[in-house]
Structure 1
Amino acid sequence: MTNTPDMTDAAGATAGADTAGGAGRGRRLARRLPVVGGIAAGGVLLLAVPAFAHVSVQPGTAPKGGYATVNFKVPNERDNASTVKLEVSLPTDHPLASVMPQPVPGWQIEVTKAKLAKPIEMHGEKINEAPSKITWTADGKGVEPGQFQQFPVSVGQLPDNADQLVFKALQTYDNKEVVRWIEPAKPGGPEPENPAPVLTLTAADGADGAAAKSGAQAKDTAADAGAVSGSDTTARVLAVVGIVVGIAGVAFGVLAGRRRSA
């Protein structure tokens, strides 16, 4: 007599295989979920990395032949030290006869003057000396890690025969470290490791001023477009990450449901 396979046993074996296969797939998916989460977290961390910061002059532009109030922005780039002194050397090739720092709470200010090799004329008077350096010294903790400080200064009269002014700066930390922001940028070259703050001089009011204003507006428009594009890219990245995590969650739920049904 020929024995026929028991349909109940076959169904049980099939169900067992499905259950085992589902459990295996569930375990594999569970192992993959942390990887997906890690990728998502890594993407967010990459988006959050700040750009390299250094001492700068802001705003970075001012009209030729006039007066301007600028801020020397000093970020603290050390995790274990505070900035306690800033020394800014004023340009000697185009001396500034009027330099008036705004008081900053918690900081002492000293303006050093030097004799000029060639006297300059200002408001009908000849000037034989001009400010050559500004020094800010902290009374207390100064600029602590993770913070920045702005030092406002009114300067003038800006030259009308130059396109930029370079302000070399020394940043001193309370651990005696001195960072020298004194390297001039070369036209068309990469930014130096320790660039000196630069104030770009634009055309004065009039036809040239209107052209400069138009150029500035075009730059602002391009910057706004770039910002929108950057925001859109960020949103797309986060959306893709969300979709991947969502699909993984649905797949895990389906497999878990099959396992319970089995």
Structure 2
Amino acid sequence: MAPTTRVCMALAALLVAALVAPAAGHVTINPKKAPTEGYLVFKMRLPHDCGDATVGTSNLTVTLPEGVVAVKQEQVAGWKAIHSMRAIDPPIVSGSSTYTETMDTATWVGFLPDGMYREFGLSVKLLPQKNGTVMYFKASQDCHGGFPPRNWDMIPAPGDNSRLKSPAPAVTIIEGYED
């Protein structure tokens, strides 16, 4: 095979791989799997990217999905942790607890310069979920200097495996999964 043909084939293979690769959002969550119910600590990872190497991130806001209660937000050094609550109507009984409200959004306000990353923790109780359920933790990243926020909130349609421009961090519920 001629060298030019090999180069063209290699470039074509790379292009195909890039088109079918799963989306990798700038805000990610770990672990990406969780048990069908119980307590778990998630870490939201924010690698800085505001579209300009001279601009830093000023805050991260995460919207918690349905099925998550008893949320505790990690205090991150140098960042202010704030949150908003939402009512649960009708109240949910789980074990010996009755939940009438839960955290709706968790926000950390601070500064993350270009080229750095930071992790933000959330301790949550997962209410019973069906095996295979995907929970999305939509995120919004605000940037200094008047740059527009970056929203990581796109959710694929059922069965759609195409690459999303700004995917929401996702957790798949797995029966028998233990962290």
TM range (shorter): 0.7 to 0.9
Structure with the higher strand share, 1 or 2: 2
Rounded to whole Å, the distance in 2 between the matches of 1:60 and 1:157 is 14
Q: Does 1:87 align with 2:61?
A: yes
Residue type at the aligned position of 1:150: E
Corresponding residue for residue 128 of structure 2: 159
Task: Name structure 1 gaps, 5 residues minimum.
Answer: 1-50, 214-262
Question: Once the two structures are aligned, what percentage of the paired residues are identical?
Answer: 25
Q: Which residue of 2 aligns with 1:72?
A: 44
How far, CA to CA, are the matches of 1:55 and 1:107 in structure 2? 17
Highest RCO, 1 vs 2 (Cα 8 Å, sep ≥ 6)? 2
Post-superposition Cα deviations, 1:79-121, rounded to whole Å, max 9, x if no partner, equal 12101101101113x2x22111221101011121111133111
Output the CA distance in 1 between the equivalents of 2:152 and 2:24: 14
Distance 2:125 2:169 in 1: 17
- TM-score, normalising length from structure 2? 0.77
Structure with the greater alpha carbon radius of gyration: 1
1:180 aligns with 2:151: yes
Give aligned pairs, total: 152
Aligned pairs (5 A) from 1:15-94: 54-77=26-49, 78=51, 79-92=53-66, 94=67
Partner of residue 169, structure 2: 197
**Counterpart contact for 2:94–2:127, Cα < 8 Å:** no
Cα pair distance change 1:189/1:181, threshold 3 Å: same
In 1, the alpha carbon distance for the partners of 2:86 and 2:73 equals 17
1:123-134 pair list within 5 angstroms? 123-134=95-106
Q: Distance in 1 between matches of 2:31 and 2:127?
A: 15
More helix per residue: 1
The one-letter code matched in structure 2 to 1:175 is G
Q: Which AA in structure 2 matches 1:171?
A: Q
Amino acid at match of 2:55: A
The DSSP-based 3-state class of the residue aligned with 1:189 is coil
* Kept in 1: contact 2:63–2:139 (CA 8 A): yes
Q: Which deviates the most, 161-170 or 103-112?
A: 161-170
1:147 aligns with 2:116: yes
Structure 2: runs of 5+ lacking an equivalent: 1-22
Partner SS, residue 97 of structure 1: strand
What's the CA shift for 1:52?
Answer: 6.2
Listed one character per residue, the Cα deviations across residues 34-64 of structure 1 (whole Å, up to 9, x for unaligned) are xxxxxxxxxxxxxxxxx96511111211111
Q: Which runs of 4+ in 1 moved over 6 A?
A: none
Q: CA deviation at 1:153?
A: 1.3
